[in-house]
């Protein structure tokens, strides 16, 4: 890694405001149209599940003064790390996302319900629904990219993920048998059929009904639907507390209890099954609470279009101390980074994000382009060396740490002003992706 003089100015780098104007337009639309429905949704939901209220701790206010970047391959946490559970429908679309967050002592914890349509930075696609991060791309398997995206969105370490389809989740739940949850409103078939698939009040959800339970709709809106996976996990931990074998993860041919009967169940091929069973077991050792990710609704652009959300950062910072008390860096400010692909290599920026999360906040992503000296055209790629460009003196220390995480990086200081990000990282050919 080489370091340039502080006064050395980098070549001009275009901030990717978006050639199509989509990002700027989305931000303005969010500001104009966002409505706050989270408080009402959370109130109804928590009343239904009778969860105890977490201790609220206010995050310290003030501008960023220093980052919480740690050394490469070091997890700044004490105790168990959250496990992300992502459930997909029969067509592969993400139907539910929940973070299973055990307490530091491994006895109980919280299930954080995350609406799949939460808009966030998904490298390399920019501002998109979180659900799109599960798509596998070169050098970045979908599960790994989902973990990095959630880490970037929340600012906490996750490090493990389980991905299961409706049918796989039903199989996993078979040893637990029918689960009992409470609904505040009835839910109806997603295909528009008449009648109710589940009525209000106490309902029984059999393993074979998991798909309908998670995908059917209600008048309470998508936040209620996003919370159903968390209620299912909570009921699952209660069943495990009564019968530990109800976790459903025996090895092939293991005899487990199912509905009071002994039977032989083959372990289903679920990605991250061992991480999930560990998290479930830890939650079952104590009280399992439920929390809905604080979000603001972005009204649908047209009738029938899916409702989208954006994270309410202020409210998120109030719940993080109680949610992940074992992660001391959860509330420390992170430098905002613009991550650019400097070579055009497929998956290069995704691999870089995997190395950087959750130490930075990747706020923008795209391709590294510079204007030609005698033309209005842009030249993209061709960066042999990774460049880490800062815009003020206080970003220097952050840049050094980013270079350490990437394993390379020439640090430059730009004379340009940036009120959008704290630094720009152009990933060059010298950044070696994992094999």
List pLDDT tens digits, range 277-314: 999 999 999 999 999 999 999 977 777 788 899 999 99
Of 260, 291, 323, which residue is a domain's last?
323
Query: Does some domain include residue 23?
Result: no
340 and 383 in a single domain? The answer is yes
314 and 388 in a single domain? The answer is no
Res 8: pLDDT: 43
211 and 348 in a single domain? The answer is no
pLDDT reading at 273 higher than 80: yes
Q: Which residue has the higher pLDDT, 85 or 413?
A: 85
- Find the range with the poorest average confidence among 85-99, 142-156, 294-308, 373-387: 373-387
Query: Does some domain include residue 8?
Result: no
**pLDDT tens by residue, 217-229:** 887 878 898 999 9
73 and 156 in a single domain? The answer is yes
156 and 297 in a single domain? The answer is yes
Of 291, 323, 355, which residue is a domain's last?
323
Query: Does some domain include residue 10?
Result: no
The confidence band for 69, taking pLDDT boundaries of 50, 70 and 90, is: low
Q: Is 15 exposed, middle or buried (0-12, 13-18, 19+ CB in 10 A)?
A: middle
**pLDDT tens by residue, 15-42:** 444 333 334 434 444 444 443 334 333 3
Query: Does some domain include residue 56?
Result: yes
Res 372: pLDDT: 59
Query: Does some domain include residue 408?
Result: yes
For residue 358, give the CATH number of its domain. Answer: 3.30.70.2390
pLDDT reading at 396 higher than 60: yes
270 Cβ contact list (under 8 Å, min separation 6): 162, 163, 164, 168, 172, 276
HEC assignment per residue over 196-252:
CCECCEEEEECHHHHHHHHHCECCCCHHHHHHHHHHHHHHHHHHHHHCHHHHCCCCC
- The first and second tokens of residue 165, run together, are 């389809």
309 and 361 in a single domain? The answer is no
For residue 57, give the CATH number of its domain. Answer: 3.40.630.190
Query: Does some domain include residue 173?
Result: yes
339 and 318 in a single domain? The answer is no
Of 304, 323, 342, which residue is a domain's last?
323
41 and 107 in a single domain? The answer is yes
pLDDT reading at 66 higher than 70: no
263 and 361 in a single domain? The answer is no
Query: Does some domain include residue 14?
Result: no
174 and 233 in a single domain? The answer is yes
38-49 vs 222-242: helix axis angle to the nearest 10?
Answer: 30
- Tokens 């389980």 label which residue? 162
Average pLDDT over residues 408-418: 87
Average pLDDT of the chain?
78
Query: Does some domain include residue 27?
Result: no
Quick check: helix, strand or coil at residue 433?
coil
The confidence band for 328, taking pLDDT boundaries of 50, 70 and 90, is: low
Average pLDDT over residues 118-135: 94
* DSSP structural state of residue 76: -
pLDDT reading at 113 higher than 90: yes
Res 108: pLDDT: 96
The strand pair at 83-88 and 160-165 is best described as parallel
Q: Which residue has the higher pLDDT, 19 or 243?
A: 243
97 and 245 in a single domain? The answer is yes
Domain containing 64: what range? 34-323
Domain count, the chain: 2
351 Cβ contact list (under 8 Å, min separation 6): 139, 140, 431, 433, 434
Peptide bond into 371 cis (omega under 30): no
296 and 407 in a single domain? The answer is no
């Amino acid at each position: 890694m080489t370091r340039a003089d502080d006064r050395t100015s980098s070549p001009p780098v275009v901030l990717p405001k978006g050639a199509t104007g989509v990002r700027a337009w989305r931000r303005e639309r969010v500001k104009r149209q966002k409505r706050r429905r989270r408080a009402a949704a959370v109130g109804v939901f928590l009343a239904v599940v009778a969860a105890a209220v977490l201790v609220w701790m206010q995050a310290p206010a003030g501008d960023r003064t220093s980052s919480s970047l740690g050394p490469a391959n070091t997890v700044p946490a004490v105790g168990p790390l959250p496990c992300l559970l992502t459930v997909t429908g029969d067509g592969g679309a993400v139907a539910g996302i929940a973070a299973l967050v055990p307490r530091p002592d491994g006895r109980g914890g919280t299930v954080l319900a995350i609406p799949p349509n939460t808009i966030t930075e998904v490298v390399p696609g920019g501002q998109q629904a979180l659900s799109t991060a599960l798509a596998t791309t070169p050098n970045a398997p979908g599960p790994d990219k989902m973990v990095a995206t959630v880490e970037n969105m929340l600012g906490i370490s996750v490090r493990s993920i389980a991905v299961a389809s409706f049918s796989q989740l039903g199989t996993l739940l078979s040893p637990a048998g029918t689960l009992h949850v409470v609904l505040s409103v009835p839910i109806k078939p997603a295909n528009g059929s008449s009648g109710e698939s589940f009525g209000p009040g106490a309902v029984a959800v059999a393993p074979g009904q998991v798909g309908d339970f998670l995908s059917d709709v209600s008048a309470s809106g998508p936040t209620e639907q996003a919370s159903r996976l968390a209620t299912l996990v909570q009921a699952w931990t209660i069943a495990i507390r009564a019968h530990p074998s109800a976790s459903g993860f025996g090895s092939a041919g293991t005899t487990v209890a199912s509905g009071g009967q002994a039977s032989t169940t083959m372990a289903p091929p679920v990605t991250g099954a061992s991480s999930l069973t560990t998290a479930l077991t830890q939650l079952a050792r104590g009280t399992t609470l439920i929390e809905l990710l604080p979000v603001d609704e972005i009204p649908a652009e047209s009738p029938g279009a899916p409702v989208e959300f954006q994270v309410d950062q202020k409210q998120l910072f109030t719940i993080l101390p109680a949610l992940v008390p074992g992660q001391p860096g959860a509330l420390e400010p992170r430098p905002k980074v613009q991550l650019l692909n400097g070579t055009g290599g497929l998956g290069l920026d995704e691999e870089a994000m995997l190395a950087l999360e959750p130490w930075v906040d990747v706020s923008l992503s795209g391709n590294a382009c510079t204007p030609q000296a005698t033309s209005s055209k842009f030249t993209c790629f061709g960066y042999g060396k990774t460049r880490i460009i800062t815009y003020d003196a206080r970003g220097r220390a952050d840049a050094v740490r980013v270079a350490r995480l990437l394993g390379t990086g020439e640090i430059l200081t730009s004379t340009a002003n940036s009120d959008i990000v704290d630094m720009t990282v152009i990933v060059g050919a010298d950044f070696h992706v994992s094999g």
